[in-house]
């Protein structure tokens, strides 16, 4: 406890140093910069502005209130990170949830690490640090990767080194941005998972993407069922099948019907047609859960 009190007192002492115009620190070479940069300083909360480079755009109000309650009881355990803009003027680099929660309960000061960085460095720090967070949704992460490409000019290989992720993982996130904006919103709001999104990326036409998205929502399709549905959509049904009398071409009206069946059941439907026009339809399933899903679809049509 004594150690924590000493550290807090030190932070307040540095805060007083920063408020002295004669000690205005703008670079690492300035006098007393070594005492401030990289240390925890108690800053006036009103001297800090939010970061326009913040990759996160969604802040859950309920979890924010929970964090505020925790801060009220225990204080800000992990300091925020800011960069100095001007005399007694700072900008958030990371920790916006802690910053917002602290303002919510009326704190006047907040512990902060001070960095000296230009706009590009600040953007990179904010994006890279936020990508590491566990509570960003897949689209926020994808947008952060895209901004690192567009605004910092990083390659996927360079990003892989900076954020400690495989290049293939980064590529999978970036591919989500090819989805229709409605589907991207569905991922952000938790209606579908990243796995669903990755399956739908393989559909080039966005109209078809939205049709599949609606089927996922209405039929509560699993990722595996979605992958099969997309596969069926992209693969034209077999144009011919063998019978005892040889190869028989499947009529166009049956081809169309098989495609519709495949989309409805979420599996590739097999069809065999005899020379006399009769035939057999086979609906595959992969598990007991999958069988029960198909059974419900059939029962629903019979009502």
**Residues carrying an active site annotation:** 96
Cα angle 280-221-190, degrees, rounded to a multiple of 5: 165
- Do the beta carbons of residue 114 and residue 39 sit within 8 Å? yes
DSSP per position, 266-280: TSPPEEEE-TTS-EE
Block residue for tokens 């980064």: 170
Q: How many CB atoms within 10 Å of residue 52? A: 11
Give the DSSP H/E element, type plus range, for residue 71: helix 61-74
How is residue 240 annotated by DSSP?
E
Contact 138, 107 (CB under 8 A): no
**Between the CA atoms of 2, 92, 70 and 136, what dihedral angle is there, to the nearest 10 degrees?**
-130
CA distance 99 to 208: 42
Residue 98, both tokens: 């802690």
């Amino acid at each position: 406890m004594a150690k924590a009190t000493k550290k807090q007192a030190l932070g307040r002492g540095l805060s007083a140093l920063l408020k002295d115009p004669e000690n205005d620190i703008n670079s690492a070479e300035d006098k007393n910069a070594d005492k401030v940069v990289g240390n925890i300083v108690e800053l006036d909360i009103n001297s800090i502005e939010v970061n326009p480079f913040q990759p996160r755009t969604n802040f859950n109000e309920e979890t924010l209130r929970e964090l505020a309650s925790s801060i009220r009881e225990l204080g800000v355990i992990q300091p925020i990170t800011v960069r100095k803009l001007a005399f007694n003027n700072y900008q958030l680099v990371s920790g916006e949830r802690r910053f917002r929660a602290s303002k919510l309960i009326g704190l006047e000061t907040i512990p902060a690490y001070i960095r000296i960085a230009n706009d590009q460095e600040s953007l990179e720090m904010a994006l890279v640090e936020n990508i590491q967070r566990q509570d960003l949704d897949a689209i926020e992460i994808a947008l952060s990767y895209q901004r690192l490409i567009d605004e910092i000019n990083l390659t996927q290989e360079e990003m892989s080194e900076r954020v400690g992720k495989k290049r293939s993982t980064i590529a999978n996130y970036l591919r989500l941005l090819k989805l229709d904006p409605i589907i991207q919103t569905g991922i952000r709001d938790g209606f579908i998972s990243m796995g669903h999104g990755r399956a739908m990326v393989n559909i080039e036409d966005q109209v078809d993407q939205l049709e599949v998205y609606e089927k996922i929502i209405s039929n509560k399709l699993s990722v595996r069922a979605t992958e099969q549905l997309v596969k069926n959509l992209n693969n034209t049904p077999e144009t011919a099948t063998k019978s005892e009398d040889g190869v028989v071409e499947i009529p166009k009206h049956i081809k169309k019907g098989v495609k519709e069946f495949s989309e409805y059941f979420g599996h590739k439907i097999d069809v065999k047609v005899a020379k006399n026009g009769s035939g057999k339809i086979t609906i595959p399933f992969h598990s007991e859960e999958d069988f029960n899903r198909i059974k419900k679809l059939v029962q629903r049509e019979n009502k």
